Amino acid sequence: MSSTETAKTNLLGLSLDKLAAFFESLGEKRFRAVQVLKWIHQNGVDDFAQMTNVSKALREKLAGIAEISAPEVLGQWDSADGTRKWLIRVSGGSAIETVYIPDGDRGTLCVSSQVGCSLDCSFCATGKQGFNRDLTAAEIIGQVWIACKSFGQLQPPKSKQERPRKVTNVVMMGMGEPLLNFDNVVDAMNLMMEDNAYGISKRRVTLSTSGVVPALDRLADVTDVSLAISLHAPNDELRNQLVPINKKYPIAMLLDSAKRYIERMPDTHRKMTIEYTMMREVNDRPEHAEQLAELLRDVPVKINLIPFNPFELSDYQRVSNNALRRFQQILLDKGFTVTVRTTRGDDIAAACGQLAGSVNDRTRRSERYRDAGRVTSREGELLAEERSPEQPVRIVG
Ligand code: SF4
């Protein structure tokens, strides 16, 4: 790529407001932003020459100063159960993973927000890869663009082909902690929900966080997407071992912040999802279910139980079916809505918690994991502290 090309503005990740500002800086009206947004995100066009309702002079000007550049797909795998996974190259020598999970008339895309993750939850394959950097907004929405294109969901306006609506839901639950990449994640989610782009309802776009409380406290200022909390433990002692950021922002602080977020939603009856990954003999006992019920007694939640998916470098084991059903029944008896996430995409290593990609690790954590075979929980906590969870958060507004 020449130095002239690298200086071009990538329009793929610009929200409607940012694209409008870009056109206004060229002396063009706001409606140009709507036109171009539709070409990119509804028609899947990445060549200005094809934007036939834009004047030839403007198209030529755009070609000189801007580009529509999605990250490169390195591989695509289809599971026997319909799950699809992509390995996507991002600049800096790393690759991230994105997964599509069909379920009846719903199709959920699990999108990554960072290259690796700095937080190192002990049951998560991504954490073992270390961390490289935040994804740009173009790299985040680029995952949606790539998935929709692969299903023929983005097509030129006069196409005779049927436009399947395969991606109906998006969860920011792939590699990385979305709230540590605040601005870019918010821009990308705005594009997901924008009527002139993907038009996905705010109830069908979910941000999942392990608990970066200062950023969560600001989230309602800029969006009202659905919220999921990666809880995984019913008390601080256990959660400190599984999710090291809990030492900084313990459960009570996290749930208070999440409740405030839900209370600020304009529509009533919104509930947050509690994600609870279940590991045998770790957090799957009846007393854990009792504690969880007590903890969530006054919180508007639905609970999603996720059987742990084993991966290399992890000592944890999948919960037994008996323990899972017993745990679920205790919560059901207390009046909670409780779902169990079926493991999908096992045959292509696309199941929850298994996303690894290829991270050019800046933290050297992956190297230490490889050398040690395992690390103790205390080492895991120290490694998680390598990157302060507060420092990199860039709040908009
Ligand atoms: S569970 Fe989420 S926050 Fe924790 S290490 Fe994995 S990707 Fe990061």
Q: 12, 145 in Cβ contact below 8 A?
A: yes
The pick from 124, 173, 366 for probing ligand 1's pocket by mutation, whose C-beta has the most ligand atoms within 8 angstroms, reads 124
Q: Using a 6 Å CB cutoff, which residues line ligand 1? A: 117, 119-121, 124, 126-127, 175-177, 210, 230
Calculate how far, in angstroms, residue 175's C-alpha sits from the geometric centre of ligand 1. Answer: 7
Per-residue pLDDT of 24-59, as tens digits, reads: 999 999 999 999 999 999 999 999 999 999 999 999
Higher pLDDT, 175 or 355: 175
Per-residue pLDDT of 209-257, as tens digits, reads: 999 999 999 999 999 999 999 999 999 999 999 999 999 999 999 999 9
Phi, psi of 27 (to 5 degrees): 80, 20
User: pLDDT at residue 373 above 60?
Assistant: no
Higher pLDDT, 194 or 357: 194
Residue 18 in tokens:
């940012």
Q: Which residue's C-alpha comes closest to atom 3 of ligand 1?
A: 177
Residues of the chain with pLDDT > 90: what percent? Answer: 72
How many Å apart are CA 96 and CA 6, to the nearest integer?
Answer: 22
* Catalytic site includes residue 97: yes
Going 150 to 151 to 156 to 161, the CA torsion angle's sign is positive
Q: Is 82 helix (H, G, I), strand (E, B) or coil?
A: coil
Looking at residue 368, its pLDDT comes to: 74
Band of pLDDT at residue 312, cut at 50, 70 and 90: confident
- Give me the catalytic one of 67, 194, 352, 381: 352
When pLDDT is averaged across residues 4-21 and rounded to a whole number, the result is 88
Q: Which residue's C-alpha comes closest to atom 4 of ligand 1?
A: 121
* CA-closest candidate to residue 344, choices 165, 127, 78: 78
How many Å apart are CA 212 and CA 390, to the nearest integer?
Answer: 8
Residue type at 102 in one-letter notation: P
Looking at residue 356, its pLDDT comes to: 64
Residue with tokens 């996303």, as numbered in its chain: 355
User: pLDDT at residue 394 above 60?
Assistant: no
Element (H, E) at 100: strand 94-103
Calculate how far, in angstroms, residue 121's C-alpha sits from the geometric centre of ligand 1. Answer: 5
Per-residue pLDDT of 126-145, as tens digits, reads: 888 888 899 999 999 999 99
User: pLDDT at residue 191 above 90?
Assistant: yes
When pLDDT is averaged across residues 98-106 and rounded to a whole number, the result is 93
How many Å apart are CA 239 and CA 378, to the nearest integer?
Answer: 13
When pLDDT is averaged across residues 161-165 and rounded to a whole number, the result is 74
* CA-closest candidate to residue 199, choices 16, 396, 12, 11: 16
Beta-carbon neighbour count of residue 385 at 10 Å?
16
Band of pLDDT at residue 359, cut at 50, 70 and 90: confident
CA-114 nearest atom, ligand 1: 7
Looking at residue 376, its pLDDT comes to: 38
Higher pLDDT, 147 or 390: 147
Band of pLDDT at residue 355, cut at 50, 70 and 90: low
Per-residue pLDDT of 165-185, as tens digits, reads: 889 999 999 999 999 999 999
Beta partners for residue 10, in sequence order: 67
* Catalytic site includes residue 148: no
Task: Please report, in range form, the residues annotated as the binding site.
Answer: 117, 121, 124, 176-177, 208, 230-232, 309
Residues of the chain with pLDDT > 70: what percent? Answer: 88
Q: Going from the N-terminus, what domains does the chain have, and what CATH number goes with each?
A: 3-67 (1.10.150.530), 72-384 (3.20.20.70)
When pLDDT is averaged across residues 190-196 and rounded to a whole number, the result is 97
Calculate how far, in angstroms, residue 326's C-alpha sits from the geometric centre of ligand 1. Answer: 27
Calculate how far, in angstroms, residue 128's C-alpha sits from the geometric centre of ligand 1. Answer: 9
User: pLDDT at residue 378 above 80?
Assistant: no
Residue 209 in tokens:
């966080």
The pick from 113, 119, 208, 231 for probing ligand 1's pocket by mutation, whose C-beta has the most ligand atoms within 8 angstroms, reads 119
Looking at residue 255, its pLDDT comes to: 98
Band of pLDDT at residue 393, cut at 50, 70 and 90: very low
Q: Which residue's C-alpha comes closest to atom 7 of ligand 1?
A: 176
Tell me how far CA of residue 242 lies from CA of 36, 156, 176, 233, in angstroms.
45, 47, 16, 8
CA-175 nearest atom, ligand 1: 7
Contacts of 212 by beta carbon, 8 Å cutoff, 6+ apart:
177, 179, 180, 245, 249, 389, 390, 393
Phi, psi of 127 (to 5 degrees): -60, -35
